[in-house]
A and B are shown apart, each in its own frame.
Chain A
Amino acid sequence: MTLNVQQIRSDFPILQRETSKGIRLVYLDSTATSQKPLPVIEAMNAYYRRSNANIHRGVHTLAEEATALYEEAREKIARFINAPSARQVIYTRNTTESINLVAYAWARANLKAGDLVVLTEMEHHSNLVPWQMLQAERGIELDFIPVTEAGLLDLDAYQALLARTPKLVAFTHMSNVLGTINPAAEIIRLAHEAGAVTLVDAAQSVPHLKVDVQALDADFLAFSAHKMCGPTGIGALYGKADLLEAMPPFLGGGDMIKEVKLRSFRPNSLPHKFEAGTPAIAEAVGFGAAVDYLSSVGMDAIASHEHEITAYALERLEEIPGVKVFGPEAQYKGGVAAFTLDGIHPHDVAQILDKDGIAVRAGHHCAQPLHEKFGIPATSRASFYLYNTKDEVDLLVDGIYKVKKMFG
């Protein structure tokens, strides 16, 4: 099951570009956002050139077409994560809004002062700040599953937290810094035994692994299209039907209602209850095209390709004196290599690499507490997706040697 990477690369127009004269792009920043293949770009293009209209309530041909395209995309996304029904897939702007939707509509209706929410030390800010806001507003309590030196979740400590009967366990399926793939099914099973609801931040897992919400038994699961070959401006929240049905609406406005009087309204049924106003229609179409694209390549093939590249990258990076890669060994890890280089700031590393067309990210990658835990303000991060090659890893390594020489 090896990918035809050259074939795949030819689907991504941006990979053909030069960042400056004669310098071909080496894109190693897919964890921040992925590039988009032609079928995704063209699907949105065709939508605007042919079918654009507002949806749901329109009777005319364009409105019917746009509605059908918008809802077919939802079906595709539902199948992609094996949701029992498309009405359990709510369109949002991104993972961040998906999590906030749970924090506003589910948590504010279900949590009271003193209730415990368990997070982890490796969370992205998107799965920290909404709960901190709720803590400030409601007096809920937060506690954190610690991260071990090896970059794994401390599951013994988790058991101890569960003994305090949390109401919610919200955790990342895959760390965007360490690359750690957390044992989500196990974490959820234990949470359920303790009576907690679970929220999976799947921003990094749905793009890179086969995610099956029913096999995981996840209560809520959040992800973004832009990290999985889809457009910006759209994400999704999956939820169990009974939870979503019991929740009050979040944003109020057009489309999320059944009936409106001057002083009251009746909310619409799922999924529309949570989709207020004109949604990201073209983006939904692009999102659907993205899951089609990923499915046609095959998620298992993608995962094993990334695994191969990552293992190679770790091996090559670790042979460079002064390089320290964070996170667990390749076997527990997705396609992320965050590293430091002795005495040289990640910003300088990234910027000098950029001169050779190599795009890596430098900073805290929206996981400041995790960096603090490891006693560093920032890392450089190279990340890999279906279109990356071992040659690109070699270019990265050459680039790092160049950086070292400049600062030598």
Chain B
Amino acid sequence: MAKKRGVGISAVWYPTGMSGGGDPSQAIIKMQPDGSVDVLIGTVDIGQGVRTVVRQIAAEELGVPIERVSVTVVDTDSSPLDTGTFASRATHQTGNAVLQAAAEARQVLLEVGAQQLGVEPEALVLENDTVVVKDHPEQAIPIPDVASHATWAERRLIAGRGAFGWAVAKVDSETGQGEPLHTMAYGATLAEVEVDTETGEVKVLKLVSAYDCGKAINRLLVEGQIDGGAAMGLGSALMEELHPYYPSLEHHPTGFFSYMLPTAKDVPPLEAVIVEMNSDTGPYGAKGIGEMTANSQAPAIINAIHDAIGVWITDIPATSEKVLRAIEAQAGEDIQPGYVPPEPYWPHEAIAG
């Protein structure tokens, strides 16, 4: 039984938000008379944790304890518009909208507090659940008291609106020139594999991934994204394929017994490294890395297979069978390791040659 090990790396990038723009996010923040805060957003939590992130931002900006901040689920009757959770955009776009809404709400809060304290709003800061005069910590009012005063005495609504989005990019139809990519995030992966040269089975022994997400608003959640992407990337490298006899439709899988996803045993202990090259555009410098964390593992793994046994897999995924085919082809057997495209018929507009 021959097992050979190899190491491979990869480097990737990914834009934050829709390429080409046109994807607004809106937010509304309002404070209740007891100083609790409602954050209304229109994007959804698909597991990545946007409600948690948005709650952190609102609590940070309004100086209230995070426990007093509620973030709604989406109800089109009350939530402001948001194009949605895709394109690695929620933390960045919705986060920016919430930041803006919080600034507006904060201004009202400061104005009411200033009235109560008899100072200018500019003289105040929000700290530890109080509105406090800069450099005079003894002159402070708890935020709940300001909220109550605003509601009942001043008849004011402490609230804020926020809206963010990339403008629709003007992309030249001949050359593609324009600004369709915004706030690029980066990542790299190192994979170590062990290949069974008799069966073609590949076991991934190590996956180390470093991702530049700009400011990590919640490091636990960012690590979760990097880990989750790693498993999905591993699946796409080694096993996930809807057409085992591509392009034929035959043998199309119909469940998790015929379409393979990585199990806990397929995924090695994962290393997630957070790199923070802050962006100029995101909340606190954040970028979006939701999708790209699944992009770097497959090439690193395929490159590691080459390092281990000297064969190139170019038809992804590198299933055990394809790896063995490549090994046998290299050894002289007349067999194709994977799909071989016909000579394409490029339309006349295309590149000559």
- Do A and B pair up? The answer is no
